[in-house]
Amino acid sequence: MIDYRIKTKKHYTDKIGELVSMLEHTREVTVSEITDLAQHELDYLANEKSNSIGALLAHITSIEYVHQVISFETRDLTKEEYRKWGTALELGSKARKEIKDRPVDYYIEELHKVRKNTLTYLKSIEDSWLFEEKKWDNGVYHNNYYLWFHVIEDEISHRGQIKTIKRLLLEK
């Protein structure tokens, strides 16, 4: 059952616990949207420029992984990591060709594995970590709180796309 309250979570500091509550709620709603999807629904392309639901799920997973690397490990992806995650990060034509023929359980398991690492990292830090400021190469400042807010907003945005694709499938 999805919890519709934002509250701190056990084993986390107050602010981190609230962030975890938001991350978990966002993920629970996403998984509830996709759990019963069949293979052809996950791979459906509305047109030659669209992304499939499977590709969007892979993208959600890759965004979270990248934000783990950036915020927890304070580095960029290695070449090997980029080979693994780059297609899902960028989406587009390569993703249309490569991200397909996987069952819904595959995507749910990938989402779960990456999230498990996020939660482990978050247990080991204090609230002050959220507000640590950094500067991107272009001179723009950001903090860890923003990075994890972006993980949430990205997932919610793509979940909206998933809902649209599901409606298109119903019209077929």
Condensed to tens digits (0 to 9), the pLDDT of residues 80-130 reads 999 999 999 999 999 999 999 999 999 999 999 999 999 999 999 999 999
Q: Domains of the chain, with CATH numbers?
A: 14-171 (1.20.120.450)
| Percentage above 70 pLDDT, the chain | 99
- What distance in Å separates the CA atoms of residue 51 and residue 169, rounded to the nearest whole number? 14
Give the pLDDT of residue 137.
Answer: 87
Check pLDDT > 90 for residue 153.
Answer: yes
Check pLDDT > 80 for residue 156.
Answer: yes
- What distance in Å separates the CA atoms of residue 63 and residue 114, rounded to the nearest whole number? 10
Among the residues of the chain, which ranges form H helices? 14-34, 39-43, 53-72, 79-90, 92-98, 104-123, 144-171
Top-confidence residue, 114 or 137: 114
Mean pLDDT along residues 22-31: 96
- Please enumerate in sequence order all residues whose Cβ is within 8 A of that of 64, keeping only pairs 6 or more positions apart, or say none: 114, 115, 118, 151, 155
